[in-house]
Amino acid sequence: MAKSTNYDASTIQVLEGLEPVRKRPGMYIGSTDQKGLHHLVTEIIDNSVDEALAGAASRIWVILHQDGSVSVQDNGRGIPVDLHPKAKVSALQVTLTTLHAGGKFDEKAYKVSGGLHGVGASVVNALSDHLRVEVRRDGKVYFQEHKRGVPQAKVTTTDKPESPNLSQTGTYVHFHPDPAMFTDIQFDPKTIINSIRNRAYLIAGLHFSFTDENTGITRQFYFEGGIKSLVAHTNRDKKTLIDPIYIKKTADHTDIEVALQYNDGFSDIVQSFVNVVETVDGGTHVTGFRMALTRAINDYAKKIGAFKNGEDSLTGDDIREGLTAVIYVKIPTQLIQFESQTKAKLNNPEVQGYVNTTVKDALDTYFEENPADAKVILSKVMLAARARLAARAAKDAVLRKGALEGMTLPGKLADCQSRNPEETELFVVEGDSAGGSAKNGRDRRFQAILPLFGKVLNTERARLDQIIDSDKFKNLIIAVGAGIGDQTNYDKLRYHRIILMADADVDGAHILCLYTTFFYRHLPEIVKNGHLYVAMPPLYKIDIAKQSFYVYSDEERDQILAKFPNQKFSIQRYKGLGEMNAEELWSTTMNPANRILKQLTITDAAEADRVFTMLMGNDVPPRKKFITTHAKSANLDI
């Protein structure tokens, strides 16, 4: 395109206006890495989201193009294109070339903006080597092109629009990030989809479409129920006790929306958002919510005389069991206070009071009008309270008896010689003969063996006193050394590698799952810190030409057989660890020089929790679906 920039006084002023953005991009978008790069997309999407929040747009289309550019189109009113009285150029051009121009057209004194930084389209423009904007208004399509924030011509109309959707009005922004401004300009479709999905849940009725032109796949995101749908989605594999409760109110300048639902599980999942940003560390809005929920349930319990002998209140922990909730507040951007740079925790003190009062009032009314739901919730949380009291009493009793306190190592444990946890390993071995082979085959200097036989308690639904009562877990807890419950002290961990060793069959997989659940639920730091492993015994032994090969997968078996096609061979399939003698078990599965260990990691605690609940919980259909889906690609990493 020919350079036809009109360098009149106002344009030059505008250009100087964007210079600081290119000089110090990090100041405007946080960073110039992948995170900052994706900020450009959310910034543009959020401008359209703002139009939807104003009730003027119902659809947003996002396209990731093959040349690495992104376009966002909405069916809102369209950015005004008339002459801006002061700047003497189109208001559209002012929006794209002036910092913080967006709010100037706005009548409202306070503006709830999607964008956290609220920097506006001009920052994206400044950091793009090419940007095209199209506005559909008054039956016409206006457009303008920019390079590095510099308009290439005045705003004018076109009869060959590039924007693909034929809405009567709306805005289309198509930009390519400037490689000189970022460490990497490759967009990740997953990151974009996540931002879109969150926004779709938060704004009920807003329809998003995302197309990745690299794959040709288009996905739609639309949730009529807003955060109510999000709560239902989070609970999709759980047995729920009530329909989601939905609360909405505006207090002062703060819009409050809360959705909550109880399931029959034991953990709680509370997600919170400020404008469209997830506050992963919660903050005053979440505190206000928890206070209100605890008080409302306690007040209701008192009112109907539910507290009997000795019980007089439910704690915050009790009301948490089985709770799924979303707390969503909208606050004018200029009033938001975050605790830290990461913006993960809301700090506005007044919001705690607003949310507390709003939720308390709404729940009082809800319980009054829906006594059946109120009673279901009450019996769930009272059960939690009784379990808490029973567990404490039982644990006190168990601890008094010295079950864990004496810390006498279990007789079954064949301990190692080293006392340095950094070099020692504990093999938790399933099966009688396997335990014997492991004891004889190990390197006793650093390898300890704890044989445990048969199925164990499912600890996903077990209380601490039941766990301590089970011999197998008691032995395991003492051998591991880090204690349990509020007695946990990870500094006392006796081995930095805890290796689960079970047969490579369905029973073995079930046992691994039970032990993994135990660690995940009750000693999670052991998993988080990478101390938990699964041993991978070989599947086959192949003898060819006086050589023996231990083989760990079907592919490996086929490769070896293909390499020696003409020779006689014999192949043995190991059905269980017990079929190997001590020497074989050592050389194939325990010897650090040849063995394969799978380290269990928690990459996504929420997802892991969902899978655990599904695999270990009471509800059968989702478990069956999961197992049939994943049976072929079974991967023990959580």
Q: Is 188 a catalytic residue?
A: no
The contact pattern for ligand 0RA, residues 145-184, with x = CB under 6 A and - = no contact, is --------------------------x-------------
Candidates 71-79, 370-378, 509-517, 540-548; binding stretch for ligand 0RA (CB under 6 A):
71-79
Residue (of 260, 264, 262, 228) closest to 242 by Cα position: 262
The contact pattern for ligand 0RA, residues 92-131, with x = CB under 6 A and - = no contact, is -------------x--------------------------
The nearer residue to ligand 0RA, 61 or 262, going by C-beta atoms, is 61
Residue of 77, 117, 197, 249 interacting with ligand 0RA (CB under 6 A):
77
The nearer residue to ligand 0RA, 80 or 436, going by C-beta atoms, is 80
Task: Report the run of H or E that residue 367 belongs to, with start and end.
Answer: helix 349-369
What is the rounded distance in angstroms from the CA atom of residue 296 to the CA atom of residue 87?
55
The nearer residue to ligand 0RA, 77 or 233, going by C-beta atoms, is 77
What is the rounded distance in angstroms from the CA atom of residue 539 to the CA atom of residue 286?
50
- The site that binds ligand 0RA (CB under 6 A) totals a number of residues, namely 11
Total Cβ atoms within 10 A of residue 172:
25
- Rounded CA Rg of the chain: 31
What is the rounded distance in angstroms from the CA atom of residue 503 to the CA atom of residue 439?
16
Locate tokens 């400020």: which residue?
274
* Coil vs helix vs strand at 441: helix
What is the rounded distance in angstroms from the CA atom of residue 14 to the CA atom of residue 29?
20
Q: Is 554 a catalytic residue?
A: no
Report in angstroms how near the CB of residue 84 gets to ligand 0RA at its nearest.
11
Number of alpha carbons in the 13 Å side-chain half-sphere of residue 185: 17
Report in angstroms how near the CB of residue 128 gets to ligand 0RA at its nearest.
15
Does the footprint of ligand 0RA cover residue 47 (CB under 6 A)?
yes
**Per the residue annotation, which of 507, 556, 579, 609 is the catalytic one?**
507
What is the rounded distance in angstroms from the CA atom of residue 49 to the CA atom of residue 45?
6
Q: Is 268 a catalytic residue?
A: no
Does the footprint of ligand 0RA cover residue 461 (CB under 6 A)?
no
Site residues for ligand 0RA, window 397-436 (CB under 6 A)?
none
Residue of 11, 32, 42, 48 interacting with ligand 0RA (CB under 6 A):
48
Tokens for 633? 């690609």
What is the rounded distance in angstroms from the CA atom of residue 579 to the CA atom of residue 577?
5
Candidates 22-30, 34-42, 69-77, 179-187; binding stretch for ligand 0RA (CB under 6 A):
69-77
The nearer residue to ligand 0RA, 50 or 255, going by C-beta atoms, is 50
**Per the residue annotation, which of 43, 430, 465, 584 is the catalytic one?**
430
The nearer residue to ligand 0RA, 51 or 255, going by C-beta atoms, is 51
Strand duo 425-430 + 497-501: pairing: parallel
Residue (of 635, 560, 549, 559) closest to 599 by Cα position: 635
Three-state SS string across 266-308, please? Answer: CCCEEEEEECCEECCCCEHHHHHHHHHHHHHHHHHHHHCCCCC
What is the rounded distance in angstroms from the CA atom of residue 293 to the CA atom of residue 308?
21
Q: Is 255 a catalytic residue?
A: no
Give the sign of the dihedral formed by CA 623, CA 624, CA 625, CA 631: positive
Does the footprint of ligand 0RA cover residue 74 (CB under 6 A)?
yes
What is the rounded distance in angstroms from the CA atom of residue 260 to the CA atom of residue 377?
11
Residue of 18, 79, 124, 258 interacting with ligand 0RA (CB under 6 A):
79
Report in angstroms how near the CB of residue 136 gets to ligand 0RA at its nearest.
10
Residue of 43, 51, 257, 425 interacting with ligand 0RA (CB under 6 A):
51
* Coil vs helix vs strand at 333: helix
The nearer residue to ligand 0RA, 162 or 558, going by C-beta atoms, is 162
Which residues of this protein are in contact with ligand 0RA, per CB under 6 A? Answer: 47-48, 51, 74, 76-80, 105, 171
- The residues assigned a catalytic role are 430, 503, 505, 507
